[in-house]
Structure formats: C-alpha cells, structure tokens
Amino acid sequence: MRDVELLPIAPDLIESTRAIGYSFDTAIADIIDNSISAKAKKISIDINAYDDPYVAILDDGCGMDLEELKNAMRYGSTNPNADRNPNDLGRFGLGLKTASLSQCRKLTVVSKKDGVINACSWDLDYVIKTRAWKLIVFDKEEIGNDFPFIKSLLEQRSGTIVIWRNFDFLKESSITLEDSLNEKTNDIIYHLSLVFHRYLNNEDIKNRISIIVNNQKLTPLDPFLTTHTGTQVLPEEPLEILGEKILVKPYILPHFSKLSQEDKYMVGGEEGFKKNQGFYIYRNRRLIQWGTWFKMSRQEELYKLARVIVDIPNTLDSIWKIDVKKSSAELPNVIKVNLCNIIKNIVDKSEKVFTYRGRSVSSKSIMSIWKKVDNRGTFSYQINREHPLVKFYEESLNRDEHKKFEKFINLIQDSFPYDAVYVDVSKGNIKKEEYDIKEIKQNMREYIEAGLKTNLKLDDLLEALKIIEPFNRYKDAREDIIKEYTDVK
C-alpha cells in the first residue's frame, strides 16, 4: 500500500463552491461577519454599478499581514471543529472565498496591519488558465489608487478592503448589470439592518458598529419593536445544552393597526408581520434565521404576534448544524421539547392580544362584561374593556364623551355591591335578567355592524357570537342572525 496526494483541481472546485447557494445579501453579510470578528467598528460598503462595476467593503478591523492574508485566501483556512474566540462569527474557513466568488469572478483583498499594506486576488479566469491554485499577490507598487477605498485605508491604522469585480451571475439575472446592482442595493440595506441589528444597536456603546451603504448609514431594524410601549416582553427562559446556555426570550408584538409607518417597515410590512412570526435564531447576536416555528406549530393568525429570540453561542455550532452561508440552522431534538412548551405559553398570550381586538375565534373562554382582577391576593370586579361591545362603544365616542364614559365606568366599578351580591348569591336569590329575543338580536346586529366598520371579517364576528356575553346564552337568536348575514352574503 502507498498513499498519493490527490489535490482538488482548482478551477473545478472553485466552480462547484460557487453554487453553494449564496444570495447577494447573504454573501455580503458573510463578508461583514469577518469584519466584525476582526473587531471592526465601522464598515463601509460601496456598490458601484457603472463603468467598471464593483462592490467594495472596507472595515477598520485589525487587518492582516501578508502571511495572514495568504492564509485567509486559502480554501479551508481554518478547521471548522477548532475552538473559536467566543466573538468570532466564522467557522468553516471558507466564507471570504465562497461568498465572494459566488457573486463575481475576481476577489481582491487589500489589508493593512502594522502600517503595511498587502493585497491578493483570486481571479477565476486566471485559475482556469493556469489550472492551478495560483493566488495573485500584488507587489507594493502595484497597490494603486484604482482600488476603491484605498485612500481611506491609507489613513486608517489598520483594516481590510474586500473588492468584487466581474459579475457574471448578477448579469444573467437581470436586464442589465447596472439595474441589477442598483436594485440589490435596497435589499442589502434592509437585510443588513436586520441581520446585524443587535450590533448596530449594541447597549454597550463602545461595541456598537456602524454600517454605511453607498454613504447611507444603516439604522437597526428591531424585529421585536422592543421600544414600543405595546410590546409585551415575556420572561426569559434559559436552556442548557452540553453545559452551554441558550437564552430564549419571547415577545408579543402590538397589534398591526397600532403601529406607526416606521414600525410597520421594521416588522416587514403587513405581509412580513405575519410571515415573520416565530423563532429568531441568533448566533453570537448575529441573526441567522428568522420567521420559523421549525414545523412545530402552524403559522396561524393567532400566532402572528409572537416572536422569540433564541440566542446560541458559537460553541454549539455542531449540534445546530449551521450551514456555510450562516443562513440556516437545524434545531436539535433536545431543545425542541422545551421550545414547544415555550411556544404554547406564547401563543396563549398572543391569543389575548387578538381577543382584545375582538378577532379571536378559536378561544373557548367566554368574554364576560365583568372581569375579576387579582390585586395580589385580593380581588375586585371591573368592566372588561376588552369586551367587543364595550370596545366598539368606546371607539364610537369623541374625546369629551370618552372622558365622561371613563368617569361613569369608574363610578359603576367603585360602587359594585359586593356584600349584597354575596348575601343574595348565598341565599340563591339572584336571577339573571333575560333579554327579549328581539332586543338581543338587535344588539347582535349592532355589534356586527360596528365590527364591520372597523374592518373585522364577518365570519370572525359571527363565530365570536358564541363566546361573547350575553350573546353566548342565546343560541337560537345567534343562529337566526348567522343565517340572516350569511344569506345576504
């Protein structure tokens, strides 16, 4: 027996890895990961669609010397199983090359460390010509002014520029390369503002980073609307796997109609609001995957307010099966069970926000006019302001009327005759007033009309008759009304 060294054929392997499946967004995000791992605080991206089009990404991180730069350009520059610095966003030793060459044919990296600048290129056409792993290394005098951002790098203490040129894939996907690059600029702004929102908005200002795309500074997109007063933050749930902590933090968003234009954009518009419910998986605070329940729970109307942060450290990469593009993660069974319980809790809460809007159709609990309020051990009864009849009435009032209504409600609540009710109930003296059937039907119609005016769906309103007090007690009247409305429909 003997062994022979069998090296991959350079152009063929490079060509294959181009097809890993990066999009323009995920490819740029992978380059930014490297800048963040290199402790950059400012990352500038220039997408130039004209003349000799290029994409250039400059950071002010630690930079690389020539040996480090050459190693960085190697396919498989690090062992994926090696322990990484806890803040390192890399893993496979591939991203710089595969992400870049998935979008273009020529990758140039210029890096400055200890006052010295070096530059190297992978040029796919040169690799094809030589049929060898021939990295182009620039001599000092060849590092000229035609490199984008070079002037800025000269002024910085250290940093790196990643430059992409010769875009073939982009060219095929659109009418012109210019249009394609211009169009992608907007997508990039959204994608990066979301994926890196916790870096852009780091509570620790010293560690905050800024990302600038074509001179536009990105503002963080917070998918949980944490600063909105209507967002409910549920208690954090720590999970432990293989001695490592995973933090699960659920949020219930306010109802979509309560959001400002800016908030609506943050949550992804009306479509994204529903589609992006679910878990938000962060690896070292960088968003990897979002808007998924991992098939554990259906994406229903009632779930759409729930979004859950799942924070995983990079030490658990192997069990989460992070992919090379850092754009998906497979949930390990060990924690599936725990997350299931958490979802249940969240969905219960989410349901409450919907019943508040009178939209709940699946809740089995009756919506009473009076509700029992727990004041830490002692109880009082208050008018249930979430009850649709109360709500619709309240919404029909102007400001002055509303103030009067508020006073009136307080008066009734404060004078609730607890003692008398207690005595009468215990003696069995209480009999509920029954509505005249005509009157209750008229009340149902008024409720439906009011609901339709606020754009609620007729089917939902009719279904909710079953659980709204006092309609729930009048089955025949309900059926008549349902018939009346569905016949008209």
Ligand X SMILES: Nc1ncnc2c1ncn2[C@@H]1O[C@H](COP(=O)(O)OP(=O)(O)OP(=O)(O)O)[C@@H](O)[C@H]1O
Which residues contact ligand X (rule: CB under 6 A)? Answer: 30, 33-35, 38, 59, 61-62, 64, 72, 77-78, 90-97, 160
DSSP state of 12: H
**Cβ atoms of 178 and 50 closer than 8 Å:** yes
- Closest approach of Cβ 243 to Mg ion, in Å? 26
**Cβ count within 10 A of residue 423:** 11
What radius of gyration do the chain's Cα atoms show? 30
Binding site for Mg ion (CB under 5 A): 34, 90, 95
Residue 290 DSSP SS3: strand
User: How far is 190 from 369, CA to CA, in rounded Å?
Assistant: 44
Nearer to ligand X, 84 or 274 (CB): 84
**Out of ligand X, Mg ion, none, which partner does residue 78 contact, by CB within 5 to 8 A per kind?**
ligand X
- Closest approach of Cβ 86 to ligand X, in Å? 14
Residue 289 DSSP SS3: strand
- Closest approach of Cβ 50 to ligand X, in Å? 26
**Out of ligand X, Mg ion, none, which partner does residue 64 contact, by CB within 5 to 8 A per kind?**
ligand X
**Out of Mg ion, ligand X, none, which partner does residue 38 contact, by CB within 5 to 8 A per kind?**
ligand X
- Closest approach of Cβ 271 to ligand X, in Å? 31
Nearer to ligand X, 41 or 352 (CB): 41
Nearer to Mg ion, 88 or 469 (CB): 88
Nearer to ligand X, 321 or 385 (CB): 321
User: How far is 55 from 34, CA to CA, in rounded Å?
Assistant: 16
- Closest approach of Cβ 130 to ligand X, in Å? 22
Nearer to Mg ion, 11 or 90 (CB): 90
Residue 484 DSSP SS3: helix
Nearer to Mg ion, 17 or 368 (CB): 17
- Closest approach of Cβ 185 to ligand X, in Å? 21
**Out of ligand X, Mg ion, none, which partner does residue 103 contact, by CB within 5 to 8 A per kind?**
none
**Out of ligand X, Mg ion, none, which partner does residue 92 contact, by CB within 5 to 8 A per kind?**
ligand X
User: Which residue's C-beta sits nearest to Mg ion?
Assistant: 95
**Out of ligand X, Mg ion, none, which partner does residue 91 contact, by CB within 5 to 8 A per kind?**
ligand X
* DSSP letters spanning 298-311: ---GGGTTEEEEEE
Burial (0-12, 13-18, 19+ Cβ within 10 Å), 169? middle
Q: Greatest CA separation found in the chain?
A: 102
**Which alpha helices (DSSP H) does 160-309 contain, by range?**
169-173, 177-195, 197-200, 261-266, 269-275
- Closest approach of Cβ 461 to Mg ion, in Å? 53
Residue 362: CB partners within 8 Å, gap ≥ 6? 302, 351
**Cβ atoms of 44 and 121 closer than 8 Å:** no
Nearer to Mg ion, 34 or 103 (CB): 34
